[in-house]
Amino acid sequence: MPAEIIDGKAVAEQIRAEVKQAVAERVAAGKTVPGLATVLVGDNPASQVYVRSKRKACEEVGIQSFGFELPATATQDQVEGLVRELNQDPRIHGILVQLPLPDGLDEERVLGAISIQKDVDGFHPLNIGRLAQKGREPLFVPCTPAGCLYLIERVVPSLRGLNAVVLGRSNIVGMPMALLLVRADATVTICHSRTRDLPAVTRQADVLVAAVGRAEMVRADWVKPGAVVIDVGINRIEDPTHPKGQRLVGDVAFEEVRQVAGYITPVPGGVGPMTIAMLLKNTLRAAELAEM
């Protein structure tokens, strides 16, 4: 029996509706409108698309959106200076610096300049450090891993004692995803390019999160029957049968793996919509924290 599809788009719409209602209730109560500032450095086309989609999503739920753009020639001091100005702006509750930054800029320094109370992307070293420590709570969790966990917990109410495998160890997805799964009491394995006999490792997973950026890398014989498979990958491949000559696929061979897994996220329509939904949720939380 084919795996049940986890509809991330539908779940994300539900989260957006909840955020929209909460924002409306805040405004009706005379409280401040949550505000999100996006900082785009350079002219990376993909980054421009991502920023536009985030700003549009904010407007749809009643969150104020503030866009700031700097040229690719911007210096480290200019980027950090802008971030510090936004830290002091009471209209702005969340700051999102779109990654990657142009070559020559120190990403860690820029992210570290963001006030931890406005770090709605969850990438500040203090937030990541708290996520990694037992007994500590981050103010914010990175949006994509948070969205993945939200989807997982809809179909697996308790991860306690389950084997979870994360393919990929990036700062944006892989590492924080593994930390979240550890916090949920799963037994976690992180795989990467140096992992020996990768298919044998992934076949032990009750929950498999693929975030390596390699089109359809995960095949059916990599997956334990009945496993939950979360596909974070977004890859374009050539497809002469498609009107545009190419199509989007994940890191998982969807049709093949669907015949083995118990639950699976599609690409598109799986994890992608959850990232922005969790960003909106974090921005609302930032506004609430600012009042405490």
Q: Work out the pLDDT band at 288, boundaries 50, 70, 90.
A: very high
Q: Work out the pLDDT band at 77, boundaries 50, 70, 90.
A: very high
Q: Is the pLDDT of residue 199 over 90?
A: yes
pLDDT single digits (tens) 102-140: 999 999 999 999 999 999 999 999 999 999 999 999 999
Q: What residues contact residue 254 under an 8 Å CB cut-off, 6+ apart?
A: 216, 231, 264, 266, 267
Domains 30-118 and 143-273 share a fold: yes
Across the range 237-242, mean pLDDT stands at 81
Q: Work out the pLDDT band at 241, boundaries 50, 70, 90.
A: confident
Rounded mean pLDDT of the chain? 95
Residue 7 appears among annotated catalytic residues: no
The catalytically annotated residue of 54, 118, 224, 281 is 54
| Residue 30: φ, ψ to 5° | 80, 15
Angle between helices 271-290 and 8-28 (to 10 degrees): 20
- Predicted pLDDT at 246: 82
Beta pairing, strands 235-238 & 246-249: antiparallel
Q: Work out the pLDDT band at 242, boundaries 50, 70, 90.
A: confident
Residue 53 annotated in ligand binding? no
Q: Work out the pLDDT band at 158, boundaries 50, 70, 90.
A: very high
Alpha helix (H) ranges present in the chain? Answer: 8-28, 45-61, 76-88, 107-113, 125-132, 143-155, 174-183, 198-202, 254-258, 271-290
Distance CA 200, CA 197 (A): 6
The structural domains of the chain, with segments of one domain joined by +, span 30-118, 143-273
Among the listed residues 126, 146, 117, the one whose alpha carbon sits nearest the alpha carbon of residue 230: 146
Residue 231 appears among annotated catalytic residues: no
The catalytically annotated residue of 64, 118, 119, 121 is 121
Q: Which CATH superfamily is domain 143-273 in?
A: NAD(P)-binding Rossmann-like Domain (3.40.50.720)
Q: Is the pLDDT of residue 27 over 90?
A: yes
Distance CA 149, CA 181 (A): 8
Residue 54 appears among annotated catalytic residues: yes
- Among the residue ranges 35-39, 225-229, 237-241, 268-272, the one predicted with the least confidence is 237-241
Query: What percent of the chain is predicted at pLDDT more than 70?
Result: 100
Residue 169 annotated in ligand binding? yes
Note whether 40 and 96 are within 8 A (CB): no
Please identify, in words, the CATH class of the domain defined by 30-118. alpha beta
Q: Is the pLDDT of residue 237 over 90?
A: no
Note whether 91 and 68 are within 8 A (CB): no
The catalytically annotated residue of 64, 98, 119, 206 is 98
